[in-house]
Structure 1
Amino acid sequence: MKFYKIVFFAALFLSAAHAFGQSSAELKRRRDKLNEELDQLNHELEANQNNKKMNLKQLNLLKAQISLRTSKIATINSEIGLLNNQIQESNNTVHTLQGQLDQLKKEYAAMVLFAYHNRSSYNQLMFVFASEDFNQAYKRMKYLQQFGSYRERQAESIRGTQNELHNKIDELDKTKKNKNDLLADQEKEKANLGKAKKDEDDVLSELSRQQGQLKQQQRDKQNKISDMNRAINAAIRREVEEARRKAEEEARKREAAEAAKAKAEGRAVEPSTVKRITKTSTTSEILNATPEAAKLSNDFLGNKGRLPWPVTNGGITQGFGMYTSGGIRNDNKGVDIRTNEGASVRAVFNGEVNGVTNIGGTYFVLVKHGEYFTVYSNLRTVAVSKGQKVSTKQILGTVATDSDSGMSIAHFELWKGSDAVNPAAWLTPN
């Protein structure tokens, strides 16, 4: 039984180690990606600092850097948490293996002592010949043979447990070293974060002299956002009304055809079993009135948390919901994603282009996916047109670069009917 317990504990530990390895690898991949983005930001900051005059681009770069460093510290905290769990599990395993090794050695010592007292062939023969009958003598001979084999297995179990114990102690030492390295990296990032925040304060202090100009820029941006929101709401309302009209028309045609068929067959018209679209129908019912639309909506919903990002490289700089910038309160209906200059913006799912609209010199593209809509804005160029079918990851256009901030921000929104929802929960974890 002791041998099987050892196998069980070893299998259990290997399974836990495998699960840890997957989580640790994912966190390390995330930390490496954050390091790449931080390196890119550092290069841009160094290039921008050659300009003696503080500007909005420098402020935005510092804000992005602070956001990335905060994310990296949070990622390191998660990694340290996993390492602490692994250290605890390893300590428990070492303790268990040490206890099993001590018990195996104790049992083996007892067997050696027994074998010593019965080491002569004469004693073994007397043990067999003292049997009451032939059947008992045979069993005693088999016992002596099995005893020798069991003693060999016990010795092998001791060697195996010792090797596993040594390996586990080595692994524990490596885990502790990894934890110490992460703690050092974390302290470094905290120091860098403090410096970035101080730099941000310095830039804000300098920019406060240009407060009027900055507030005007913020107001212009807010007006542009408001214009875009109105255009999106109007486009969705038009789509809902068009879908209602088509559904009502289809229902009338179907009922007229059924009435004509019933009259030709000389029977009464049976009530239609198909649910009609009426004035009280919900937006969801209207947009899912056709089987094709309902299937597309269901497929889109089924990919929640797995949709590709609208850009191949980037990170969120402003999340969904209310926020204040430059003393002006804004409501972000989507997420702002900082990306490379001239980056391609792509569809996150199959659908149909509902509209392409120019707002203040940049474009936004509205794509319909059944009852869901996605919005891709701040586009410098557009590669699609209204009514065009698009597929997942198809390029819709290229992102514009803001002349004031020098940032290339792709704005992405997701609507369910006439309600905006947080798109971050729908995208593949970055």
Structure 2
Amino acid sequence: MIVMLLSAVDMSAARKRTRSVTSVKQEQKANAQAIKKTSQQLDENAKATSRTLNALNTLGAEIRQQNDSIASINHQIDSIDSAMKHINDSIVTLDGKLAALRDSYARSVTRIKNSQQGSMDKLAFIFSAESFTQAYRRFRYLGEFSKWRKRRNDEIKEVQARLEKQRDELTRLQGVKSGMLTRMNVARNDLEKKQNETSALVAKLKKEGASLKKVLRQKEAQARALDNELDRLIAEEQRRQAEEKRKEQERLLAEENARKKQQQKEQEAKAA
């Protein structure tokens, strides 16, 4: 394991040594382009998020307005319910009155028939009287009864017409109420659906924005690291060049000294 770790360290060091100023500058250029692209994406994301938030606020205002409309519709529905209750009560009353009229009419007719003692018709009922006075009374009675019967029939027909009108009005109000409830529920569901979709889009855009910011921070950190690495490589290159220049100067000086020593030896040899 120690050998493997040392080998890894050596490989890392070798990679660092093999990196040149040119390769780091190329990587810097690519990283700068990536930062520019990510910044543009962030700007577009921020604009889209702003537009979507505005749309969400607009929907919120529409929903508040719709809630006001719903409250108004509910008030109208309450009024309709009250009217329907009144109509139902009226129908119950009219039904009772109609039943009472029909019962009274039937009992009255039955009494008249019984009073006629089985006579075949009105004339027989009149002429079967024991005296002229009784016949006259029967004649007047039958006339009054006929008028009463007509009035009672008219009254029954009037109550039946009122009852039918009330039932028609009740049916109409029920239709109006049903239509209002349907429109209200459709409008509410549509706005709630749009609000949920827009909220989901806002959440998605914010998540994408956070990811883009994270990428941008990483790229900026990488840019700083590349700047530092480039400074280090340039410094190393400058030190290497200075070292090579120093060695070259030392070599030239050594050659010059050696040449001078050789000349001195040759002069000494000539002198000798």
Q: TM-score range by the shorter chain?
A: 0.3 to 0.5
- TM-score, normalization: structure 1? 0.31
Q: Which has the higher strand share?
A: 1
Task: Point out the structure with max Rg over C-alpha.
Answer: 2
Higher relative contact order (CA 8 A, sep 6+): 2
Q: Which has the higher helix share?
A: 2
- TM-score, normalization: structure 2? 0.47
